[in-house]
Structure formats: structure tokens, C-alpha cells
Amino acid sequence: MFVYADNAATTAVSKAALDAMLPALQELYGNPSSLHQKGREANYALIAAREEIARCLNAESREIYFTGGGTEADNWAITEAARLGAEAGKKHIVSDTIEHHAVLHTLARLEKQGFEVTYLPVHDNGVVRLEELEAAIRPDTCLVTIMFSNNEIGTLQPIREIGAACRKKGVLFHTDAVQAVGHVPVDVEADNIDMLSLSGHKFHAPKGVGALYCKKSIKLKNFIEGGAQERGRRGGTEAMPGILAMAAALKESCAHLEENMAKVSAMRDRLIEGLSKIPYSRCNGDPGCRAPGIVSFCFEGIEGESLLLRLDLAGICASSGSACTSGSLDPSHVLLALGLPHEIAHGSLRLSLSEYNTMEEVDYILQQVPEVVRMLRQMSPVWSHMLENTEDPYLAMAK
């Protein structure tokens, strides 16, 4: 059996997205900035795509800027909010320790440029404490940036309350909603969001296209110099195939949001229940407040990498955490921020589902993972050390 359970890294392109993309590669090849009929035709399609994205977020279409993905949107939003802040003499930013590297590395650059950043710690379930956030906002704070849904452990932050707190104090609020848009309800008005990043390939559109929502009252400046595209703020001929596909994919995700959420959370809950039966395992993140598709576990006594290789041989595509940190030997900064010791954080497994997965696949995962964990533990020196030093009857039995 083959199971793709790495949807937080990227998703398969949907039929709706592909159907929207093909005309852009074939007959709709005009440059939307051209005045002739081919250009106009492309421009109408672009306008419709922008309206569609705006509608799904409850934004206005002039508040949507297309980008080359989630990373660019994060860089742009944070860099611009910081520039606006500095102009007003405000050089303090509030964020947290479990953000994506697109946010953390942008903040690190700003710190080198003289900004001060407060990184809020998270509860052991990965949630930011609202009181701490409010207390961290100072008269010189120009931006609060907190992600909507965490890509490794799936924890959802209290975005609406955070947004309300920022409004009350007159501070800009940006959220990296790359793992939320298309997966859970996102409403920039109701959620009090000023700036939001999204990425197409996390909801069945192709890679390399995303968007930044920026409230119309914010005087956003261009991030990429060039032509007058994106209201003069992001030069470069629009990536039409990706943009049209992204709009179609988001339209479909939003139209089926409730049913997809119900389907995917039921699979997630079955996975969590089944994996929790493995002794010395730990489910990371919040049990209730989590994205529909993300399951994160740590298994004591084993290496996440070996687990992934074995699962791959069994046809299961999973991840140890974020796709961006795999390849490095450091345990995930997110798991460490939850307070997990290094040796436990090393034995991590992330399974991320989409509506394309099935219960049969979940059952196959639940048949394979306990088997592989048992086998790896038999070969693990860390595990045998635990066995030798234990009073625990379960472990004693395994001696």
C-alpha cells in the first residue's frame, strides 16, 4: 500500500487546480499588463482569481497581493511592518518560539538591523498565553506576528483574541496562516487580522505561488522592484498558471471546508488514538485545539530518521517535523520549545493528512508504526539502557 501522509510539507495538485491551470498555459498566454485582447483576456482571469481569494478570506480584492509563496509573503509582511514601525520610532516586535523559519529568520535579520524581538514561550501544548502576549506589547511595539496553525504540531493559536488585543493597543497584527487557509475557517475581519500569509501548495495548488493579504489602510511599500504589477508593490509578470490554479483550489477547499474538516479530523483522531497505545509515546500539541490534519508523536528510545526510512520502505510518506529542517541533525525547534528533552524530540514523527487520505490508509499506518517502533527499539542502545534501569513493569516485561 502507498500512503502519502506529508501534506503539511506539500499537497498533491487537485483536478480543479489543474483544470484552471491548463488554459493559462495554453490559450490564456497573454501578459495581463498588455492592452490588446490577449492581455485583456488574461487580465480578466487575474481579476477573477484575486476576487476569489479575497472572498475566501472575507477581504477585498485590492487587499490581496500575489507572491511567490508563503515564505515571500512572510518576509514582505514582517519587513514592511518593521519599516513602518521604524518610521514612527517603534522598533519592537512580538512573536513566539514555534514560528516557521520564514518568520524566525526574517526576525533574526531585523534584530541585526537594530530591532528588538520578544519571543513568547508557549505552553507545553504549543499555545501562546494571551496574558503574556498582552503584557509583552509595549508603547514601542510595531508588530505582533503569531502563526495561525503550527506546521509541525498543528496547534491553533487564539488568533481572534490575539487580533483583538493588538487592535486595542493599536499594534499591527500579522499571521502566517499557511497551514490554516483552506483547512480551517479564516476570516480576516472577524479574526482582527491586519496582514496574513498564505501559500497555494498547502491546499492542492502548485508550488511557487502564494499571497499576502494586507489591510487597505496599511501603507505597504513594494518588496520587489520592477513594473506596476500588484498595484505597483510587487514587480514582475504575474505567475498566471499558478495564480489561477491557486484561486480554483482555494475556492474548492472553501466550498467543502466543513465536510473536509469533519473527514480529516476523524482520521486524525483515529491516528492519535491508535498511536497513543504505543508505550512510551507522546502526542505533541494540543488535544482539542489543533488543525484537522496534523498528528505529531514522539517515541522514546528511537531515532525519528530511522523510523521514517522504515515507514518509507512500507510505502508510507511521513516526516519527522518540518520539511525545512529535515536534513539537519538538530531536533526541531518547535518540539524543544514545548520543553521536550533532546533525546525525546529526536524520536519524532509527523503524519499530516488531507481529504485525499482514507480510513483504510489510516488503518494501514496504525498497523505499520507500532511494528516499526517495536523493531527499532529492539535494536536501540538507548532503549536497552532504559530497560536495564527500569522499575516499570511494562519495560521489565520486555527485558
Ligand X SMILES: *Cc1c(COP(=O)(O)O)cnc(C)c1O
The residues pairing with 234 across neighbouring beta strands, listed in sequence order, are 224
Closest CB 69 distance from ligand X, rounded Å: 3
Angle at 268 between CA 379 and CA 73, to 5 degrees: 100
Which is catalytic among the residues 142, 214, 298, 324? Answer: 324
In what helix (H) or strand (E) does residue 119 lie, and over which residues does it extend?
A: strand 116-120
Backbone angles phi, psi at 278, to 5 degrees: -70, 125
Q: Give the whole-angstrom CA distance, residue 352 versus residue 76.
A: 27
Q: Cβ of residue 42: shortest distance to ligand X, in angstroms? A: 23
Q: Which one, 107 or 369, has the nearer CB to ligand X? A: 107
Q: Is residue 324 annotated as part of the catalytic site, yes or no?
A: yes
9: left (phi over 0), alpha (psi -120 to 50) or beta: alpha
Strand 348-352: give its sheet, edge to edge. Answer: 281-283, 294-299, 348-352
> Are the C-beta atoms of residues 94 and 306 closer than 8 Å to each other?
no
Cell reading at 288: 482539542
Question: What is the DSSP-derived secondary structure letter of residue 114?
Answer: T
The residue ranges that bind ligand X (CB under 6 A) are 69-71, 74, 100, 102, 147, 151, 176, 178-179, 199, 201-202, 210
What minimum distance in Å lies between the beta carbon of 366 and ligand X?
25
CB of 286 to ligand X, least distance (A): 16
Neighbours of 309 (CB within 10 A): 13
CB of 132 to ligand X, least distance (A): 21
* Nearest residue (CB) to ligand X, 163 versus 293: 293
CB closer to ligand X, 6 vs 194: 6
88: closest CA among 17, 139, 159, 155? 139
What amino acid positions are annotated as catalytic residues? 324
